[in-house]
Structure 1
Amino acid sequence: MNTRHVGVKLWTDTSLHLLAPLAECLPEKPKRSALNQLTRALLRNYNCGVRPVHNWTTPTTVYMDLILQSVLDVVRTAELPSSSHKTEIWTDEFLVWDPEEFDGITEISLSSDAIWIPDVIVSEFVDEGKSPPIPYVYVNSSGSVKNNRPMQVVLACNLQMYAFPFDKQNCSLTFRSWLHSVQEIDLALLRSAEAIANDKRKFMNDGEWELLSIPSHYWKIHHGDKGYAHIQFNVLIRRRPLLYVVGLLIPSIFLMLVDVISFYLPLDSRTRITFKVSILLGYTVFRVNLTDELPATAVSTPLIGVFFVVCMALLMLSLIKSIVVVKLLHHSEKEVKQLSVSACLLDKYASADYDLECSAEEDLLSLNEVQDSPSGLEWLLLELVSLRLGLSQENGESVAQAEWLSLCLRLDCFLFRVYLLVLGLYTSTLLLLWTSWSFA
C-alpha cells in the first residue's frame, strides 16, 4: 500500500511539472471591462419612460444653449432654413456612480434611446432639414446629461419684405416642452443672455445674410392652473443688398436714363416713338425675367416691386407724351390755324398780302374778260402774277409750319421738364428710404 501510494504521488508531481509550462501558455480569461460593467449597472433597472427624479415633485431643469452656424436661404415664402448647434443639459438622478468603483471613469456615452430625453421642441418647426443623426448623449458621474447635436430645420418666420433688398429679419426659435408643465420640466439658459446674443464665432458670415445678434428671453404661458416654460431665441439678420443692387436696380436705372436721353432726338425725325417703344418692350422683358427674384408675399408689396411698376408707368407716360406732341406736330394746315395762336396772328397781320393777292386775281380776271387771246406782254404779266401767288402761298405755309413747330418744341420741352421733376422726386424718395434702412 505504501509503495502504491508513493507511486501515485510521484506520477501526480510529474504530471503537474509537465503541465505547468502549458498552463503558462494559455491566455487568461478576460475580465469584463469597467466601462461595460458601468453601463450594465446603470441601465440594468433603468426605465426610460419615467422622469428621472427620486421625488416626483422635484422639477427637471433643462438648460438650453444655441449657436447659430448659418442661414441657408430665406425662401420666397415665409420660411427660414437655418443650421445651428443645440445643447441641452439636465440632471438624471438615476445615472449616478462612484468613479473609484469603475477604474476612475467620470464620463460615458449612452444611447439616447436607452435613457429618458426631455420632449423639448421648436414651436416654429415646419420641416426637418438634413442634419446628421447623433444617437448618443454624454453622462458624467454626477448624473448630468449633455445632449449636444447639430440642428438643421426650416422655421416659419414672419418676413418683413417691404424694404427688400435692404431688409432686416427677426426670426424666432421658441423651445418648449410639448407635454410637461413647469412643475415637471423647467427651462433655463445655459449661458447669460448677453453671451448668447453676441456669439458669432461659428456663424458663416460670407453669405447673403449678416448676423446682427441673437437675443433670448424666458417666459411662461399659463393654461388653467398650470404654467409652461418657454425660451425664445430671436435671430436678427440683415441682407447684403449688393447682389440685388447690381442685378436689379442698376439695369433698371440704365433703362430709365436711356429713356431720358431719347428726348433729345429731333421731334420731327419720326424715330423717337420707335425708340421709346423699344425701350418699353425691353423693360417689360427685363421685368418678366426678374419675377422669380422678387419675394412673394400677400401681406405687403415690396418697395422694389413698386419701383419697377412706377418705372414702367413713367416709360408709358414718356411714350404717351411723345405721341401727343408728334400728333400735334402733324396736324393739317386748317387744324393748325384753328389750334395755333401764332397762326391766328399770322392770318390777322397778313391781310395786306391777302388784298394784294385778291386784287391780282381780279386783274387777271379782268384781263381775261377783255381779251381772249392775250399778247406776249400780257401773257408774261399773267405768269409773273401766278408765280407771285404761288410763292406767297408757300411762304405763308412755311411760316405757319415753322411757328407751329416752335410751339410744339416748347410744349415738348415743358413736358420733358415735368417728367424730369417727377422722376427726380421719385428717385430722391427711394434713395432716402433705402439709405435710412441700410444705415439703420
Structure 2
Amino acid sequence: MNQVNTVVLLHTVLHCHFTSADSIENYLFEHYSASMKPRRNQNELVEIDIAMTIQTVLKVDERFQYISFYGWFEVQWRDEFLMWNETEYQGIKKISVPYQQMWVPDISMYYSEEHIHDLGVHPFVSVTSQGHVTWFPGAKYTVQCYLKVKKFPFDRQKCSIVVAAWQTTDRMQKLVPRARSVNEVKGIAENGEWEFQNFTYEENYDAEFDLTKIVYTLEFQRRYRYFLLCTIMPIVILSVLNSLTFLIPVESGERITYCLTLFLTFTVFLTLFDQTMPRNSIDVPYITVFVSFHLFLCVISTMVSILTISSKRGQECDSRDTQIVPLESQGEDLHLGEVNADGKRSGSSGKNYLRRTLKSILKEVFICKIDTVMLVMNFFFLGSSAFVLVICYIS
C-alpha cells in the first residue's frame, strides 16, 4: 500500500512540475517576438558574455592552411521578456526552451569554412526566472589558419579564431569575452603531432563597422622527434653520401649509378614536401632549400663524373690505337714517327710529339686531381649548408 502511495505521489509531483513548466512557457511566449531585442527599451545595449572551449584538435593542414577542431561556446545574456515569479509556478527556477523560439544574438565565426553565420547547433537554451539565458552551441569547426612552415619540423604556430557579429553593431549588442578560472590548454585533448601551449583572447574594436571582434589565439608547437628520425636524419645522411661520390674509383663503373640513385632519392624527398607543405613562395621551408641545394650538387657531381669517365675512356683508346716512338735525329732537330696498329710508320715533327705528350699529361692530371678537388668542394658545401641551416633554425 505504501509503494502504491509513493508511486501516486511521484506521478502527481512530476505531473505538476511539467504542467507548471508548460504554463511558464505558455506565459512567456504568448506575446513574445524572437525578432525583438530582449530589452523593454529597444535603444538599450545588450551585452553578450561569451567563452570558447576547444575540446580536441582533429587536423592541422599545412598545405591548405586550415585547422579543424571540435569545440563549443558558452553564451550568456539577459532577456527582460523571459522572467517569472517562482512562487506562482511551484518554485521552478529554470526551464529549457528551443532556441528557435527566442531571440539569440548575432554571432558569427569569421574565416570559417562551415559555420560562418552561426556557432553551431544546440537545440535548447536554459532560462532562469530572472531572465538569464545560457546557450551552449557547439560543432566541428574548420577555420582558415596561416601556418608559417619555414622552420619545419621545429616550427611554432599561432591560429586566430575571430568571433564577432555579422550584421549588427555595438549599438545593438556587444560581445564581452568572459575569462575562465582554469587553463583552457589543459582541457584540449592530447595530440600526437602538436603540443598545445597557450589559448588566449583579446578584444579588437573595428571602427569602420562599429563592432567588437573577439580574437581567440591558439599557440602550439610541432612534436619534432618523429620528423627528426624519419626526415632530417635521412636527408643529412644522403648529403654526406653525396659528398663521398668521388671516392668511388672511375674504373669501377659504378659512379654514375651511384649519383643517379642519390638524385632520385633527393627527388623523392622533394615530392614528399610538395605533398605536405603549402605551395607558396612566402614561407619556403629551410629543409626544402637544403634538399634542393644538395640535389643541385648531385647534378654537378654526375656531370663531372661523366666528363671524367669520358676522358678516361678517350685516353685508353689513344694509348691502345697509337704508339709513339722516335724515328731519327737529323742535326739538332728531333724527328719522330708514329707506328700505327698495322705496323706502318708515318712521319711527324717533334712539335706534334710535344703537343700530344702535353695533352696526354693534362688528361692524366685532370683525371687524377679532379676527384680530389670535387671531394673537397663537396665537403665544403656540405659543411657550409649545414651551418647555414642550423643558424636559420636557431635564429
> Is the structural similarity TM-score above 0.5?
yes
Q: Point out the more displaced range, 263-272 or 417-426.
A: 263-272
- In structure 1, the residue matched to 2:343 is none
- 2:384 counterpart of 1:425: yes
- 1:240-289 deviation digits (Å, cap 9, x = unpaired): 23333333333333333333333322233322223222332343345435
Measure, in 1, the Cα distance between the counterparts of 2:201 and 2:115.
Answer: 23
Choose the corresponding residue for 2:73, options 59, 82, 86.
86
Q: TM-score of the superposition, structure 1-length normalised?
A: 0.71
Give the C-alpha shift of residue 298 in structure 1. 4.9
- In structure 1, the residue matched to 2:256 is 273
Bigger proportion of residues as helix? 1
Q: Could you say what secondary structure the match of 1:41 adopts?
A: helix
Measure, in 2, the Cα distance between the counterparts of 1:208 and 1:293.
Answer: 14
- 1:28-62 deviation digits (Å, cap 9, x = unpaired): 9x757222222222222211110110112221000
- 2:100 counterpart of 1:113: yes
Q: Point out the more displaced range, 234-243 or 180-189.
A: 234-243
Alignment of 1:23-422 (within 5 A): 33-75=19-61, 76-128=63-115, 133-191=121-179, 198-223=183-208, 227-288=210-271, 291-332=274-315, 358=328, 405=364, 408-422=367-381
Structure 2: which amino acid aligns with 1:414? V
Contact kept in structure 2, 1:168 and 1:238, CA below 8 Å: yes
Q: Could you say what secondary structure the match of 1:117 adopts?
A: coil
Using a 3 Å threshold, how does the CA distance of structure 1 residues 96 and 74 change in structure 2: closer, same or farther?
Answer: same
Give the C-alpha shift of residue 108 in structure 1. 1.5
Contact kept in structure 1, 2:245 and 2:375, CA below 8 Å: no
Using a 3 Å threshold, how does the CA distance of structure 1 residues 236 and 268 change in structure 2: closer, same or farther?
Answer: same
Identity of aligned residues (%): 22
Q: Could you say what secondary structure the match of 2:266 adopts?
A: helix
Q: Count matched residues.
A: 351
Contact kept in structure 1, 2:287 and 2:389, CA below 8 Å: no
Contact kept in structure 2, 1:137 and 1:145, CA below 8 Å: yes
Bigger proportion of residues as strand? 2
Q: Which runs of 5+ in 1 are unaligned?
A: 1-26, 337-346, 348-352, 360-396
Structure 2: which amino acid aligns with 1:66? M
Structure 1: which amino acid aligns with 2:39? V
Provide the aligned C-alpha RMSD in A: 3.4
User: After the TM superposition, which parts of structure 1 deviate over 6 Å for at least 4 consecutive aligned residues?
Assistant: 333-336, 400-403
- In structure 2, the residue matched to 1:362 is none
Larger radius of gyration: 1
Structure 2: which amino acid aligns with 1:280? F
Q: Which runs of 5+ in 2 are unaligned?
A: 1-10, 330-355
Structure 2: which amino acid aligns with 1:42? L
Q: Could you say what secondary structure the match of 1:72 adopts?
A: strand
Q: Could you say what secondary structure the match of 1:127 adopts?
A: coil
- 1:176-235 deviation digits (Å, cap 9, x = unpaired): 11122111101112116xx57x42122122332222212211132123xx7212211122
Measure, in 2, the Cα distance between the counterparts of 1:187 and 1:285.
Answer: 50
Give the C-alpha shift of residue 402 in structure 1. 9.1
Q: Could you say what secondary structure the match of 1:204 adopts?
A: coil
Measure, in 2, the Cα distance between the counterparts of 1:171 and 1:244.
Answer: 22
Structure 2: which amino acid aligns with 1:64? I
Using a 3 Å threshold, how does the CA distance of structure 1 residues 300 and 155 change in structure 2: closer, same or farther?
Answer: same
Q: Could you say what secondary structure the match of 2:108 adopts?
A: strand
Contact kept in structure 2, 1:35 and 1:105, CA below 8 Å: yes
Contact kept in structure 1, 2:169 and 2:211, CA below 8 Å: yes
Q: TM-score of the superposition, structure 2-length normalised?
A: 0.78
- 1:42-95 deviation digits (Å, cap 9, x = unpaired): 222211110110112221000111122232222211222222221111111111
Measure, in 2, the Cα distance between the counterparts of 1:403 and 1:177.
Answer: 80
Give the C-alpha shift of residue 334 in structure 1. 11
